[in-house]
Structure 1
Amino acid sequence: MIKLSSIVIVASLALNASAQAQQKTYDASEKAIKLTHETILIDTHIDVPYRIHKNWVDVTKATDGGDFDYPRAVKGGLNAPFMSIYIPAHLEFEGKGKSYQLANQMIDSMESIALRAPDKFAIASSTADIEEQFKQGKLSIAMGMENGSPIEGDMKNLQHFFDRGIRYITLAHSQSNHISDSSYDIRRKWKGLSPFGKKLVTEMNNIGMLIDVSHISDDAFYQVIEQSKTPVVASHSSLRKYTPGFERNMNDDMLLALKENGGVIQINFGSSFVTAKAGTWGKQLKSSKESAKKDGAALSKDFDAAYRAKNPYPFASLEQVLDHIDHVVELIGIDYVGIGSDYDGVGDSLPRGLKDVSSYPNLVQGLMDRDYSDKDIKKILSGNILRVWQQAEEYAKKH
């Protein structure tokens, strides 16, 4: 029989261990910081454009809020972010010209950053641009479009956005659109890709536009894999292994298909993408709100804060993000994984140790601690996505 005093001691130790985990600080070594800064670091999904479209702030200088600004990017070694031209999946946007207009406005805002601070930023529309601007010590602004709604069923718009610097398109977002079904949308209108979407995949291949399979349904993913002549990218997705039932993430069969295609999965840092506990917490909050409404209660502005005070949010940890990277590497190899943080896109749900763009050296330190070589770390930071991008460029030259 276990004595009560022993149980108390064990429980106390467990609580202390939990508290220490919550309070753990991350201090990257000089070696990790040096490696991060000496390497091209491409994060394929940062939501600065929509952030400053809603509430303008000058990210060429230090800012009070958000996850990105120039000083923090420099500190973190981030030199080549893909800025997300995010278009909300609203029905009033789809097919009515508004998404096309909004996309152009946000591209304008990225160009204005480069014009306003040419000593710090430069627009990058090719792998050659990324490499040259890295040598110049400038932060490259590459761009991807999150939600293909602005294409509006017209291939001319695809070429228009390519000409404006867009280098990947996330085919759909949180609702199915005229291109593809969404992983979030229970209405599977197209059972994958629409007829136009299938034609679009071919045209994207032909002009060198990367196809982003994040957000789309499983059926759409496999149809893209079957049709695409170039490697695809999941610009900001994590693994379903750690979030069972969350279709927005990728399962092992999809990872194996991704390897056959030669593509890359860029790991999302958002806690609900990394750990099932965070996703469950969000569902419970939503359920609590619905129950309160049914009971006739008027939800106050402080409802979320009050709920969080009673039910602390289960932030993921840097170690759990590393687990996602480890699993990809163990299943399909080192050549198929990278970083797609979703900074400025997942609110305050970021993991401990990865709270903003100054945090990348912590990730590098974690990889070093798990015995990744410098060569493999560089593949994760940029080598893999550069390979995929270069293959798309080379295919387009021939077509």
Structure 2
Amino acid sequence: MRRTALPVLLLLPTLAFAAQPRPTPAEFANDAVIVDTHIDAPSELLKSWRDLCNETPDREFDAEKAHRGGLDVAFMSIYTSPEEDTAGTARQKAHMEIDAVEAMTARCSSEFAKITEPGDYLRLQEQGHRVLLALGMENGAPIGDDLSQLQVFHDRGVRYITLAHSHSNRIADGSYSLDRPWHGLSPFGEKVVAEMNRLGIMVDVSHLSDESVEDVLRVTKTPVIASHSGLRHFTPDFERNLSDALAKKIAKAGGVVQITFGSGFIDARAAADTTAYFRELAKFQHAQNEAKARGEAVQSFEDWDAAWDKSHPKYATKLSQVVDQIDYAIKLIGEDHVGIGSDFDGVSGALPEGLRSIADYPNLIQALRDRGYSDATIRKVLGGNLMRVWKDVDMAGAKLRGEMR
């Protein structure tokens, strides 16, 4: 009896462990580190204030949704437009958006905390589970032609900068722009990248032309990110998404591609409309400027934009299309170089069914499980990879500054 009973007893712990159920997607979301690198709450707050400390039905980001979705680190997008750059108001607007984030953090400190260094994550979470707000600047326009402004914005907490947006600027050519004066980075842009490397600010290549991305990869001494991009494999001729070749180069240099959720990035028809929108907008703005010079009446942007939306209805998209992108990216560049950058509150509600707000990350987790991905791989995609790159850039910056970490 003893000879037979002993092996059974030894097996019991193993059998008990094997019988443990896999955590539900919601439980897994609360346990995993989820980092979303692109949420447009700040610019929306300036347009129309909302109390994001509580449930806010007409916004895709708020504290209540964040807790339901398991969000840990949210990069708040400090967005300024090319028009604000031209008008000379981009710097002021950027500081106002940062002020809005800081005010929200101070007003509901039990829900939000500001994070500026990747190493602060554990310390801040030990003080109570809160959504940690990091800052990413979408469009380098606020620095103007003054390299010292990078230090100013670093001091305010900016930890990545998207070098250009929908138009080319003094730093780099943009993917939507018809006017590409630099054929990549400008000479000033090369200095911007070098100074960002030194300060430990991640260089973001989303929104850049292919030539600009190539130049960034040639110049940078640290890994780069694409904070919110899709893959051009699914959207032919849509330069805003990354080609396979560029995605591979970003990964080879240690960077990460953060897959975005917006319909315009995951659906070929919607992507074509997005390109057409920015091309027609550029023509509209040029015509309006000429009309103003002649002293003629001009149409408001709001009226033009509303007319465009009326004639170009949004295409319905599905969660599976986002998972297709993630699946393809993992197979193309490896599970260590893929993450998420939703663009919540930045695509006017043009989002796939099942991923309509930050409360829906558990749906993404289940969909990735359904594709056969392990929880270990899903953890990397949800935030592990981005936190690694952020740490790498932070440490590389310290070395370039001659500091010890």
Do the two structures share a fold, i.e. TM-score over 0.5? yes
Choose from 92, 96, 109 the match for 1:105. 96
CA 274–372 in structure 1, closer or farther in 2 if over 3 Å, else same: same
Counterparts in 2 of 1:284 and 1:386: CA distance versus 1, 3 Å: closer
Secondary structure at the counterpart of residue 356 of structure 2: coil
Q: Secondary structure at the match of 2:36?
A: strand
Distance, in Å, in 2 between the alignment partners of 1:246 and 1:287 is: 12
1:314 aligns with 2:305: no
2:108 aligned residue: 117
Amino acid at match of 1:385: L
Amino acid aligned to 1:155: L
Q: Is the 8 A contact 1:278 1:315 kept in 2?
A: no
Any gaps of 5 or more consecutive residues in structure 1? 1-28, 291-298
**Matching residue of 1:385:** 386
Secondary structure of the structure 2 residue equivalent to 1:155: coil
Alpha carbons of structure 1 residues 146 and 288: separation in structure 2 relative to 1, 3 Å: closer
What do residues 28-47 of structure 1 show as CA deviations (whole Å, max 9, x unaligned)? Answer: x9611111111111000000
Q: Return closer, same or farther for 1:105/1:281 CA change in 2, 3 Å cut-off.
A: closer
Give SS of 1:44's match.
strand
The alignment's C-alpha RMSD in Å is 2.3
**What is the aligned partner in structure 1 of residue 16 from structure 2?**
none
Q: 1:202 to 1:282 in 2, by over 3 A?
A: closer
Q: Does 1:198 align with 2:190?
A: yes
Equivalents in 1 of 2:274, 2:78: separation in Å?
Answer: 26
For residues 232 and 183 of structure 1, what CA distance do their matches in structure 2 show? 17
- Cα deviation, residue 251, structure 1: 0.7
Quick one: distance in 2 between partners of 1:271 and 1:79? 24
Distance 1:259 1:281, change over 3 A: closer
SS in 2 for 1:241: helix
> Is the Cα contact below 8 Å between 2:205 and 2:227 reproduced in 1?
yes
Change (3 A) 1:397 1:303: closer
Moved more, 64-73 or 206-215: 64-73
Q: 1:277: Cα distance to partner?
A: 2.2
* Pairwise CA distance, 1:127: 0.6
When structure 1 is superposed on structure 2, of 336-345 and 65-74 the one drifting more is: 65-74
Q: Is the 8 A contact 1:267 1:325 kept in 2?
A: yes
Question: 1:112–1:287: structure 2 CA closer, same or farther, 3 Å change rule?
Answer: closer
Amino acid at match of 1:347: S
- Give the drift of 1:284: 8.3
Report 1:204-243 matches (<5 A).
Answer: 204-243=196-235
Closer, same or farther in 2 for the Cα pair 1:346/1:301, shift >3 Å?
Answer: closer
Q: Which amino acid aligns with 2:92?
A: Q
Kindly provide the CA deviation profile for residues 64-93 of structure 1, in whole angstroms up to 9, marking residues without a partner as x.
312111111111111210000000111x52
Gaps of 5+ in 2: 1-21, 284-302, 401-405
Structure 2 residue aligned with 1:295 = none
CA distance in 2, matches of 1:172, 1:198: 13
Q: 1:80 to 1:283 in 2, by over 3 A?
A: closer
Equivalent position of 1:12 in the other structure: none
| Partners of 1:40 and 1:134 within 8 A in 2 | no
Q: 1:87 to 1:37 in 2, by over 3 A?
A: same
Aligned to 2:53: 60
Please give the alpha-carbon distance, in whole angstroms, between the structure 1 residues aligned to 2:218 and 2:275.
34
Give the TM-score normalised by structure 1.
0.85
**Cα 1:65/1:395, change in 2 over 3 Å:** same
How far did 1:345 drift?
Answer: 0.3
Distance apart, 1:352 and its partner CA: 0.8
Question: Which residue matches 1:376?
Answer: 377
**Cα distance in structure 1, aligned partners of 2:240 and 2:61:** 24
| Alpha-carbon spacing, 1:305–1:102, altered in 2? closer, same or farther (3 Å) | closer
Instruction: Pick from 155, 163, 183 the counterpart of residue 163 of structure 1.
Output: 155
Contact 2:238 2:272 in 1 (8 A): no
CA deviation after TM superposition for structure 1 residue 187, in Å: 1.0
Deviation at 1:307, TM superposition (A): 4.7
Query: CA shift at 1:162, angstroms?
Result: 0.2
Question: Is 1:258 aligned to residue 250 of structure 2?
Answer: yes
Paired residues, number: 358
Contact 1:46/1:342 (8 A) holds in 2:
yes
Distance 2:56 2:81 in 1: 25
Of 73, 78, 87 in structure 2, the residue corresponding to residue 80 of structure 1 is 73
Q: What letter is aligned with 1:395?
A: A
Task: Go from structure 1 to structure 2 and tell me whether the alpha carbon gap of 1:105 and 1:65 turns closer, same or farther (over 3 Å shift).
Answer: same
Identity of aligned residues (%): 43
Q: Confirm or deny that 1:179 pairs with 2:179.
A: no
Question: What is aligned with 1:16?
Answer: none
Partner Cα distance (1:339, 1:214) in 2? 13
